[in-house]
Structure 1
Amino acid sequence: MENFFKFKERGTDMKTEMIAGVTTFMTMAYILAVNPNILGASGMDTGAIFTATALASAIASFCMALFANLPFVLSAGMGLNAYFAYTVVLGMGYSWEVALTAVFVEGIIFIILSLTNVREAIFNAIPTNLKVAVSVGIGLFITFIGLQNAHIVVDSATLVGLFSFKGSVAAGTFQSEGITVLLALIGILITAFLVAKNVKGNILIGILVTWLLGIVCQLIGLYVPNPEAGFFSLIPSGIISMPASIGPTLFKMDFSVIGSLDFLVVVFAFLFVDLFDTLGTLIGCASKANMLDAEGRLPGIKGALLADAIGTTAGACLGTSTITTFVESSSGIAEGGRTGMTAIVSGILFLLALFLSPIFLAIPSFATAPALVIVGFLMMQQVTKITWEDMTEAIPAFICIFAMPFMYSISEGIAFGVISYVVLKLVTGKNKDITPLMFVLALVFIAKYAVL
């Protein structure tokens, strides 16, 4: 194992990797509950989706470990699953079988692009300052996701606002929603304390302690589950359960409309978002882990991209939407994960979740929110590496950073960063700084906004 994973070379050990793998899994275990809920709106069997999501996540994560030896974990991408269900199926009127076919075709295209170095070339073409900006932007993005998941940040007349404890008491929802918001805030402070004291496994401990506090609150009656409002019991309903049959979604694809223009547009949309979400996640997480070399390149990226592509293809065959590298991988990296063993551990836990789903589905979002907030802080530290003195470098980096959380998309952040970088370099006469591929990328992004 030492020869394959190179623990000593990367400054880690088996214990650290195992803690990192468990941490990453716990911060993204919500996908096992959320993905069936979202894709189920398209008419798919939710039990089969749960099984397909767990299996595809495990397969893709194992591929990441074996092909690239990197600590990145994969599962069904958020946003892409919503596009699958609400836009392609409910909006455009296609059957979910056709949507799965589009995901399958996207996966095949990605396998080809990964093997021919196209995706790797795009990764390497992005300037160093923009790569750092991607890392910082993802930090803000996952912080925002964590605050949303915990309901600390809510919808308001100003688009977003702070949760109102006074309002929850008046509405009679404090014992369901209000107390979980309070627990999330306490969890952030607990996790921050553990990080400040450099306690080993600080993020994982923060998740478990916050969850345990929630269980105590439920036992003494301070927290009252309200399933209709989305607040479930924090105590697992059991330990072991048999996985649902995957039969209703296995290989259920429909190739009858594969040549239509609308179908190609759907494939392109999946392809575009997945491509730049994955590249952004790899850039951000690798930057945080100091895995990029002196030229800003990620050793083993071809294997990482191939794992992502194979995961998407396998996921479509099993019955789930696009599989992509999860930004929550940064939580495991923050725990010290540096090798594929982190991905192996998370993959094994996805398989265990098939038989221990009552435990994993009981992990509340308010317990994982502190992990996302603290990881966001850790990724934010990269901002000092940006060359702020050069405005043609700093301004595109800033645009990239704010676009991710405010537009709720990693790919949009990259797109706006690339476009502004190329335009600013052109109008200031610094044409030599623009590589041909960056120029092509800017044109592709502009064309994308004109067409979609």
Structure 2
Amino acid sequence: MPSSAAPAGTASGRGALDRYFRLTERGSTLGQEFRGGLATFLAMSYIIVLNPLVLSGTDSAGGELGIPRVAAVTALAAGIFTIVMGLWARHPFALAAGLGINAFLSITIATTPGLTWPSIMGLVVLAGLIMAVLVATGFRRAVFDAVPPALKTGIVVGIGLFIALIGLVNAGFVRRLPDAAGTTVPVGLGTGGELEGWPVLVFIVGLALTAVLVIRKVRGAILIGIVAATVLANVLEAVFHIGPSVDDAGNANPTGWSLVAPSMPEWTAPDLSLLGQVSLFGAFQEVGGLMAALLVFAILLSVFFDAMGTSVGLAREAGTVNPDGSIPDLNRVLMVDALAVAGGGGASGSANQIFVESGTGIGEGARTGIASVVTGVLFLLAMFLTPLIHLVPFEAVAPALVVVGFMMASQAVDIDWNDWGAAFPAFLTFILMPFTYSIANGIGAGMIAYAVIRTGQGRAKEVHPLLWLVALAFVFYFGMGVFRGVLGLG
């Protein structure tokens, strides 16, 4: 008598967890998802230290935000929104305080006379809410669909180069160098043009090991590389007492660890007193309506395209793009990102965005939202282990970023280099992302170039009307300083 059980691999023969997260459909397993979620967390956990360093002293009202308080809300927001991404959007995309936007807030916006930190966070919340409306109305998806294929490929390649540069810089392999005249050249090799110090050795060993394991298709290759480099880093620190590149007194140590020296994390109660310290419309009173509106626009345009570009790159790397080029549940991805921008502002920890380092987990095999749930839970635990990055230095995860960057950049072969009208804008897109340390800058330059070159070729009809609108918005964005000066806004 034939069995009535459904064959393995069919929808009825799979469990509810498998069906909901599409594990089998996406060619993944629970083991891959857990490894991928852990790898993404290890690659991203530095933000718990770095975001407070960027933001902690930016309150122009007189007081400082404080590193412990910013660290706590950074981990909390990252954990919550990454879990939401995993459970609702079901993609292996993790979110945390965006590095580009937090620097923009602390270095540019926070220096505006009279503007307080709660009011700055109010601007971020408003930008996130506006973006959520744009997602709900379908506008953000329509802009995504208007981007030509060559630019989408350029975005993927650019994100790959950006990830690799982050890894090289984090490891101290690439740094700014003084020239003979005492000024600076953009980048150079190591310290003073030479590679020196134990941390750089950790990076080199980790990169070689990870590359070999990936080439040999060893399961868990990226995670093994991170763990091995971490062990080596902790052994070297215990033996040689290398210390961080800048100590607590501000003294430089060029051959030290790039951010913190490896050490065991300590158990502390998180200080969440910054939560809700937001003045939604305070900036309109402090600097005037026009100036506040311009600042909201600048924040909105920056975060609007970061998630769009990052999600394209990560989805294509994960192989979850549909045959027609669309991304499953893209509206959910974009909505979570918009709410994370607003939620990050509400937590007073800066706008949260999809992190390109999610590619580390994807390179480890993550294909579903389960990996994001794992990453999010680890961020919540990190609130109490302040911070876990003390155990895993930058130099240990940097090799994974370089390898994943290579994987994504290899898609440059899909660009038709004989079609200058598409290839040159794609080229601008992927070189400006790492060169300006901004995904949005690369996308903006590529869109402007595409519209201009196609028009110059007499093929303006090939430029989608929405692409024209976005290109004009980016012209305004890039010229923000000029417009502010013309309007007398400082």
Q: TM-score scaled by structure 2?
A: 0.86
- Aligned mate of 1:27, from 43, 48, 57: 43
CA–CA separation in structure 1 for the residues paired with 2:375 and 2:240: 34
- Structure 2, unpaired ranges of 5+: 1-16, 59-63, 180-184, 482-490
Rate the CA distance shift 1:27–1:260 in 2: closer, same or farther, 3 A. same
Q: Is the 8 A contact 1:132 1:287 kept in 2?
A: no
Q: Which gives a bigger RCO, structure 1 or 2 (Cα 8 Å, sep 6+)?
A: 1
AA of the residue aligned to 1:124: D
Rate the CA distance shift 1:450–1:164 in 2: closer, same or farther, 3 A. closer
Q: CA deviation at 1:249?
A: 4.2
User: What is the aligned partner in structure 2 of residue 234 from structure 1?
Assistant: 262
Q: Is the 8 A contact 2:167 2:399 kept in 1?
A: yes
The SS at the match of 1:80 is helix
Q: Is the 8 A contact 1:282 1:325 kept in 2?
A: yes
Rate the CA distance shift 1:167–1:439 in 2: closer, same or farther, 3 A. closer
Q: CA deviation at 1:297?
A: 1.8
- 1:35-434 matches, within 5 Å, as 35-42=51-58, 43-156=64-177, 157=179, 158-164=185-191, 178-221=197-240, 223-224=242-243, 227-228=247-248, 229=252, 231=257, 232-238=260-266, 240-244=267-271, 246-253=272-279, 255-258=281-284, 260-434=289-463
Rate the CA distance shift 1:433–1:90 in 2: closer, same or farther, 3 A. same
AA of the residue aligned to 2:46: Y
CA deviations over 1:386-436 (Å, ceiling 9, x no partner) = 122222121111111111111221111111111111111111122332111
Q: Is the 8 A contact 1:137 1:401 kept in 2?
A: yes
CA deviations over 1:42-86 (Å, ceiling 9, x no partner) = 121322211111111112112212331111000000021111112
AA of the residue aligned to 1:196: I
CA deviations over 1:243-300 (Å, ceiling 9, x no partner) = 22x1244333252333621111111111111111111111111121222223322121
- Aligned mate of 1:3, from 2, 19, 29: 19
Rate the CA distance shift 1:399–1:352 in 2: closer, same or farther, 3 A. same
CA deviations over 1:168-196 (Å, ceiling 9, x no partner) = 8xxxxx5xxx2101211121111101111
Q: Is the 8 A contact 1:103 1:316 kept in 2?
A: yes
Rate the CA distance shift 1:443–1:295 in 2: closer, same or farther, 3 A. farther
Q: Is the 8 A contact 2:230 2:391 kept in 1?
A: no
Alpha-carbon RMSD: 1.9
CA–CA separation in structure 1 for the residues paired with 2:329 and 2:146: 16
Q: CA deviation at 1:165?
A: 7.7
Q: Is the 8 A contact 1:179 1:222 kept in 2?
A: no
Is it true that 1:449 corresponds to 2:475 in the alignment? no
The SS at the match of 1:159 is strand
CA–CA separation in structure 2 for the residues paired with 1:61 and 1:21: 10
Q: Is the 8 A contact 2:79 2:376 kept in 1?
A: yes
CA deviations over 1:77-117 (Å, ceiling 9, x no partner) = 00211111121113444111111111111111111111111
CA–CA separation in structure 2 for the residues paired with 1:189 and 1:436: 47
AA of the residue aligned to 1:267: V
AA of the residue aligned to 2:155: V
CA–CA separation in structure 2 for the residues paired with 1:63 and 1:415: 29
Stretch deviating more after TM superposition (378-387 or 257-266): 257-266
Structure 1 or 2: more helix by fraction: 1
AA of the residue aligned to 1:256: G
Larger radius of gyration: 2
CA–CA separation in structure 1 for the residues paired with 2:88 and 2:194: 51
Q: Is the 8 A contact 1:74 1:324 kept in 2?
A: yes
Q: CA deviation at 1:308?
A: 0.8
Q: How many residues of Structure 1 are paired with residues of Structure 2 in the alignment?
A: 442
Q: Is the 8 A contact 1:138 1:281 kept in 2?
A: yes
CA–CA separation in structure 2 for the residues paired with 1:55 and 1:186: 33
CA–CA separation in structure 2 for the residues paired with 1:416 and 1:214: 40
CA deviations over 1:322-374 (Å, ceiling 9, x no partner) = 11000111111111111111111100000110122253433211111101111
CA–CA separation in structure 1 for the residues paired with 2:265 and 2:91: 35
